[in-house]
Structure 1
Amino acid sequence: MTAEQQPEGRTQDEPRGPLPALAGLAGVPAHSAAEAWGNVRDWVTRGHLADTRRMPRLPIHLGDGYTVHRYEPTAPVDPDLAPLLLVPPLGAPDFAFDLRRGASLVEDLLGTDREIFIVTYDATGRAAGRRGLELWVDEIVPAALYAIADRHGDTPVHLAGWSLGGLFTLLAAASKVSGAPIRSVTAFASPVDVSAVPLVAPFRSVAEYTGGRVFSAAYRTLGSFPATAVKWAFQLTSVERYLTKPVTLATHLDDRELLEQIEAVDLLMDNMTAYPGRAFGQIYHHVVRSNDLAQDELRLAGRPVRLADVDVPVLLIAGADDVIAPVASVERATELLTASPDLRFVVRPGGHLGVLAGRRARENSWRDLERFLAAHDGA
């Protein structure tokens, strides 16, 4: 079995990465010159530094606009460990969970002998723009859960999502329409209270002044929130880091892991996708403009979907340096998830992506997830 192909237009051997922007080795300490030259040599000869091959996986269920994949185990599967379904957000590629070798949550989880699955979405086509949040909450996530449970004697399945994917997992557990077999929910960097997100404040002010008409007209005309705009939004959250990137690279040529991480993150940014128009409209009106989630007043398909109705164990993980989902915006959920029998909230090093796939995630948020899953593997 071979690993899946890289995202379209990208192969492992294509010249790519941070090093073309560097003029030389100025600023590298003398004792690290050998490591720096070795990194430059490898980039010149191989065209890349990071190993961004994806962990092998196969589709097990094909739905209308989505696919459920099973990652190929790297060790014998322990039947006493309940399966885990990963839920990516809209806009960002699903390989955020499998960023690169050495910084892949999927790779790490497979090493624990647990079966790992992921649901992916088709963000293209005319139908995609008409898909609303209720489709993910009431249909896609539940259908993926049932497909996995059917393979495991109808056992409930662990759920883990990142960013908006984390909100999908929480809302799927809150919705009682499908009766999906959920064992636990983990949400990485999922903002519940957008009033605690400084970057959103200007958009909320414009929405309040215009009654929401400006942004509504924009996404209805375009049919979606463009991929380029999604990429800019992510980059805006770390504009200082992007401005100082050339200096960082020039002074850290000897730090192989840092160079690999930057290269892998750049690849992720280059593969952002558009937000479906209807889903983006709902996020804008109900989350950004009205902050319904923070008040536990969100309505989907004409009915309330309340976090207070989540009755499974929940782990909330916030990034200490996250400006997209600041700690306070994630922590707000702890006041709403009143029916959860085991509610845990932790703050770990990293930004919005870093808390999921950063260089410090292995010893922090990944271990939190591992312990949480193990605590709820029983019936």
Structure 2
Amino acid sequence: MTRLEHAFKDEINEDTPFDRLLRAEIGRYTGGISPVALALAFADWSMHLGLSPNRQAELMRKGVRKSLRLAAYLGRCASGEASQRCIEPLPQDHRFDAPEWQQWPFSMLHQTFLLQQQWWHVATTGVSGVEPHHEEVVNFMVRQWLDIFSPSNFLPTNPEVLKATIESGGWNLWHGATNAIEDTHKFLGQSDTPESENFKVGRDLAVTPGQVIYRNALIELIQYSPDTHTVYPEPVLIVPAWIMKYYILDLRPERSLIEYLVSQGHTVFVVSWKNPGPAERDYGMDDYRRLGVMDALKVVNTVVPEQKVHAVGYCLGGTLLSLAVAAMARDGDDRLASMTLLAAQTDFTDLGELDLFIDDAQVAFLEDVMWARGYLSRDQMAAAFQLLRSQDLVWSRMVRHYLLGERDEPFDLMAWNMDATRLPYRMHSEYLRELFLENDLIEARYDIDGRPVALGDIDVPIFTVATKKDHIAPWESVYKVVRHARTPVTFLLTDGGHNAGIVTHPRHPHRTYQMHDYHPSDKSESPEEFLRNRDTHKGSWWLPWQAWLAERSGARIKPPAMGAPDAGHPPITAAPGTYVLER
């Protein structure tokens, strides 16, 4: 190829700011979802279905059979015969549980909807030749569109709403309209939410006593005041996800994991991430590792010298911690006593439904959206997570708030969830491409300081917690650390979701867990076998984890001082610090 051809090729391949701004502007109206990615998925499905006449005929036959089933059911209903529904909702679908849905004509409406939903599931799956990822996208998006038209979402077709309207004389609709106006004001930033009014950070939340002892451009490091006369010599360093405010682990008193650890005699440090804005757009994954994990570890070693550290990572913080610990092990750095991963993925082969939003076209589009702002906004992240559970987080909520006129009682976890965070452009792009798309850590291609690291490099014992209803880090995906690690792994599976399952105080009345210790020579068990073979224990996972930490800690000693003034790390300000308050 000539120099002119090279120059011409480079000129054509280079994206101009106008191109990127155009795509970013489109992203404002699509919630960051690429219309090209969706078009590719639907084109793949529709063209392959168009070339499958037998499959088309099969779908027509299924449609006719479902119509006959519905007609027979409606005939029995019209004659007054008590009859079971001709189709049952999926186990997780509770929209039609109320007895009013069994009465005419609402029985016809919801049964017709469910039969259509079932037919479309068959139509969008199993079409020969369709790329699996495209099939998942089409099936997911069709479900979203069908859910919009569910009879439960509209006043005239929802018997529960009609009953409430009659009984209240229409006041439920008045309250619903008031709720809609209030929510609009909150969305526009013109008023506070009940959560932010009732749960203030530093007053109601994040109140475990402590001091910020270190601050850099990316983190504040908080050391918590001892609550016991003696403590374990090995400190605990917690690295939460930068996608969340750290006080998910320090909610109200008696709901705080940090408070619990301190009460059990642990010296606890936690990283509080800065909420990045346009100025932090070029912070990358390595900046988060160096300024976040490694700088924090260095300060902890200064405050508590000559002691190894129990490192804990939550969600994306656990993924980042795994990268840092793998690099430490590769380089012979033995400052850690153990590593704990809370709802954290290390192998991104199977992401569950979150994988629907991750492919080359989608990531390229999202990069342009972030490039224009310098960060990914919290609203865009929240929209993706809400889509994954749209029945619970979108439509059922809208029915309760705007048709029934009800309000959810504010609580601490909801207040935390409303506290906005952002992701810097470069870091999130690197994270999506190198870990989500390429799975570089598991493939031993992830470079740190110019050399690759692998999960198998880690040489400290690992404790891993997963939650059964996690739609962000599916527990089967979290479980894969058992297979890849070459060190002892204790795996624990508990009830609940990504956040509520982790925030499980010992007084929680309904939690259970299953747990097993895996040795390096005994890691052939599948997730399904783990479920079958392990006993179920009642109680919070905090208890066995704390016992696991204690077993790997030394005899208790006097608590260390707060900070290390002589080493340049005096207490700066009281916890929760300043970074956590940034909006």
Bin for the TM-score computed over the shorter chain:
0.7 to 0.9
What is aligned with 1:115?
A: 267
The structure 1 residue matched to 2:368, chosen from 194, 202, 217, is 217
2: CA distance, partners of 1:211 / 1:116:
39
Partner of 1:76: 229
Post-superposition CA distance 1:109-155 (Å, at most 9, x none): 11101111101121234442211111232442122112112222221
- Return the offset for 1:296: 3.9
SS of equivalent to 1:172: helix
Counterpart of 1:240, as a letter, is Q
- Number of residue pairs matched by the alignment: 320
Pair 1:370 & 2:546 matched: yes
- Is 2:311–2:339's contact at 8 Å kept on the other side of the alignment? yes
| Deviates most, 50-59 or 82-91 | 50-59
Asked if 1:356 is matched to 2:356, the reply is no
Mapping of residues 98-247 of structure 1, within 5 Å: 98-176=250-328, 179=333, 181-205=335-359, 207=360, 210=361, 212-242=363-393, 243-244=395-396
Q: CA deviation at 1:48?
A: 4.2
Q: Which amino acid aligns with 1:69?
A: I
Matched, 1:279 2:427: yes
**Counterpart for residue 299 of structure 1:** 447
Matches within 5 A, 1:21-40: none
**Contact map agreement 1:355 1:365 (CA 8 A) in 2:** no
Residue 62 of structure 1: which of 215, 223, 232 is its match?
Answer: 215
Gaps of 5+ in 2: 1-160, 165-193, 402-407, 513-537, 556-583
Normalising by structure 2, report the TM-score.
Answer: 0.50
The one-letter code of the counterpart of 1:185 is M
Aligned to 2:482: 334
Counterpart contact for 2:199–2:415, Cα < 8 Å: no
Query: Closer, same or farther in 2 for the Cα pair 1:317/1:336, shift >3 Å?
Result: same
Q: Kindly state the Cα deviation for residue 265 of structure 1 after the two structures are TM-superposed.
A: 1.9
Q: In the TM superposition, what is the alpha-carbon distance from 1:164 to its structure 2 partner? A: 0.4
SS in 2 for 1:346: strand
Residues 137 and 175 of structure 1 are in contact (CA less than 8 Å); yes or no, is this contact kept in structure 2? no
User: The residue matched to 2:321 in structure 1 has which SS?
Assistant: helix
Alpha carbon RMSD of aligned pairs, Å?
Answer: 2.9
In the TM superposition, residue 300 of structure 1 has moved relative to its aligned partner by: 4.0
Structure 1: gaps (5+ residues): 1-22, 27-43, 250-258
Task: Choose between structure 1 and 2 for higher RCO, CA contacts under 8 A separated by at least 6 residues.
Answer: 1
1:175-231, CA deviations, whole angstroms, 9 ceiling, x for partnerless residues?
A: 1369372111101001223332222332234x2xx3953223222222111122223
1:204 corresponds to which letter in structure 2? I
Who wins on radius of gyration, i.e. which is larger? 2
Q: Assess, with a 3 A threshold, how the Cα gap between structure 1 residues 297 and 368 changes in structure 2: closer, same or farther.
A: farther
Taking the aligned partners of 1:84 and 1:319, their CA distance within structure 2 comes to 22
CA distance 1:272–1:294, shift in 2 (3 Å): farther
State the alpha-carbon separation in 2 of the partners of residues 159 and 334 from structure 1.
Answer: 18
| In structure 1, distance between residues paired with 2:366 and 2:324 | 27
Given that residues 443 and 454 in structure 2 are in contact (C-alpha distance below 8 angstroms), is that contact kept between their aligned partners in structure 1?
Answer: no
More helix by share: 2
Amino acid at match of 2:343: A
Secondary structure, aligned partner of 1:99: coil
CA distance in 2, matches of 1:130, 1:180: 31
Partner secondary structure for residue 293 of structure 2: helix
Distance in 1, matches of 2:550 and 2:445, equals 32
Contact 1:98 1:107 in 2 (8 A): yes
Q: Which amino acid aligns with 2:223?
A: R
DSSP 3-state at the match of 2:281:
helix
When structure 1 is superposed on structure 2, of 358-367 and 156-165 the one drifting more is 358-367
2:245 to 93, 96, 110: 93
Deviation at 1:345, TM superposition (A): 1.1
